[in-house]
Amino acid sequence: MALNRTEWDTTNGIGVEVHPNGRSRTPVIVWSGSPHRQTCVTSDEFCLTSADARENFVRKRISDLQQSAVLALLERLSVTVAQSRDSTSDRDETRGTGQAVAFPAEEPAHEEVDGGQLLDDLAATVLKYLALAKESADAIALWILHAYCLEAAQVSPTLAIVSPVKRCGKTTLLTLLGALVPRALPATNVTAAAIFRAVEQFAPTLLIDEADTFLITREDKGDLRGILNSSHTRSGARVLRTVPVGDSFEVRSFSTWCAKAIALIGKLPDTLRDRSIPVMMRRRARGEDVERLRLDRLEGFSPLRRRAVRWVADRVNDLSPEPDMPAELNDRAADNWRPLLAIADAAGSEWPARARRAALALSGIGMNNSASRSELLLADLEQIFRDRAPADRLPTQRILAALCKREDRPWSEWNNGRPISGVGLAKLLEPFEVGPRTLRQGKQVFRGYLLHDFEPAFARYVPQVAVTPATPLVDGPLPHS
């Protein structure tokens, strides 16, 4: 047993054994022998010896040293053992296993908080560091307070932070949110399993960055999107997994209920976008000045967090489950904004009106934030039939020509840069139980669509608002089959 003599204390009979790997260090005790020819045991081996042997060891040491020296030996031994075990655990056992997640407790402000002023300050803080539309800053301020009020909500919309290109401030906004929301848990990559386990254990506010690198790629099989979708409503925010218990497995339910913000370049998948409050980021224009967010001064936002904690503690019971909703919001958008408008109404001041303006600006019908391409197609087809009234049937080729004239739609480049085809049109309409027919008009026979077949889909999926007219169909003879 090789000992490092420079770390050996023969007076007190204690030393440290250095193992060949150079990292593990084990405390040892002189069991017998002279300083130059010793029999040594580790502290664990010492504890495993018989009681008589340990008693004899202590008596021998007492005969050699003063009793106080023996007590000092035992005390020093316990400290050395603890230090050695901590060192070994830190450097060997946890190496490569990541860091534990911890959240500091936030104390509420001592004085009563004015909700309207708090929202004013949150929105002003956002605009101080980011070049955003005022309505977007108001939505962010409301969402921050929503993260504190989560347990009073039944719906939790995702804050979708999207930009057309890089360097538009997405990461800056997520960093700022991390300093303002409760129990912030940032990540630039995350798996489905990590989300539901983190939510079950910590109930955090998830702040996901760089989502375009893993959430909308081909490698994503949909599990992650499914987990994020499930967290939209409290009643559906559960996933089931089997976990090992003893020699078998048991089914366990995990929570996915949490507030979350997702930042990416491009667009979220349709199902996530439909459950989101959209915040469109934009690059700062020339002459548009904002302050730089100092990463070493984030703790300076603690007063805002403490005020949020206090306001929620005082006013959470005042949140209405049914605030007045603007009629211009569709059903899903109304669900997304309901908890935010309840907060605005409870805060008072100008915020009830400001919140509803933000809702209409970001999610109102016609903003096209959450409509799928199938829904866009239905809206365009309804307009095409309206332009040709009182016609009750149209040839496929004439419909395709009208669709491709819309410069604000994807139909002219639908198929890898080529226009949408009759087959592509039929596939998009199939989920709505609408398909082409062989039709007759006068002596002409052609493949096309009946207005009557579309009417149920138009009534259910097309918003009943004015639609920008599509390019009128060019009059001309109907094509032959």
Model pLDDT, residue 469: 39
Task: Tally Cβ neighbours within 10 Å of residue 115.
Answer: 23
pLDDT of 192 higher than 70: yes
Given pLDDT bands bounded at 50, 70 and 90, which one contains residue 99?
A: confident
Share of the chain above pLDDT 70, in %: 73
**Could you confirm whether domain 115-363 is CATH 3.40.50.300?**
yes
Q: Which helix (H) or strand (E) holds 16?
A: strand 14-18
CATH hierarchy code of domain 373-461: 1.10.10
Model pLDDT, residue 470: 38
| Cα 42 from Cα 326, distance rounded (Å) | 75
pLDDT tens digits for 218-258? 566 678 999 999 999 999 999 999 998 888 999 999 999 99
Where exactly are the structural domains of the chain?
5-93, 115-363, 373-461
Q: At what angle are helices 451-461 and 373-387 packed, to 10 degrees?
A: 130
Sign, Cα dihedral of 321, 322, 326, 330: positive
> N- to C-terminal Cα distance for the chain?
96
Q: Which helix (H) or strand (E) holds 301?
A: none
| Cα 251 from Cα 253, distance rounded (Å) | 7
pLDDT of 170 higher than 50: yes
With beta carbons less than 8 A apart as the criterion, state whether 14 and 29 touch: yes
Model pLDDT, residue 365: 63
Q: Name the pTM for this structure.
A: 0.66
Sign, Cα dihedral of 116, 117, 121, 124: positive
Q: What is the mean pLDDT of residues 174-187?
A: 96
Task: Tell me the average pLDDT of the chain.
Answer: 81
Model pLDDT, residue 378: 92
Given pLDDT bands bounded at 50, 70 and 90, which one contains residue 10?
A: very low
pLDDT of 322 higher than 90: yes
Task: Give the Å distances, CA to CA, from 348 to 5, 115, 156, 355, 469.
Answer: 74, 7, 21, 11, 40
pLDDT tens digits for 39-51? 455 555 555 555 5
DSSP state of 470: P
Q: At what angle are helices 170-178 and 134-148 packed, to 10 degrees?
A: 30
| Cα 385 from Cα 473, distance rounded (Å) | 9
| Cα 156 from Cα 390, distance rounded (Å) | 45
Q: What is the mean pLDDT of residues 283-310?
A: 91
Q: Which residue has the higher pLDDT, 83 or 460?
A: 460
Given pLDDT bands bounded at 50, 70 and 90, which one contains residue 295?
A: very high
Phi and psi angles of residue 350, each rounded to the nearest 5 degrees, phi first: -85, 0
pLDDT tens digits for 352-405? 999 999 999 998 865 544 457 888 899 999 999 999 888 899 999 999 999 999
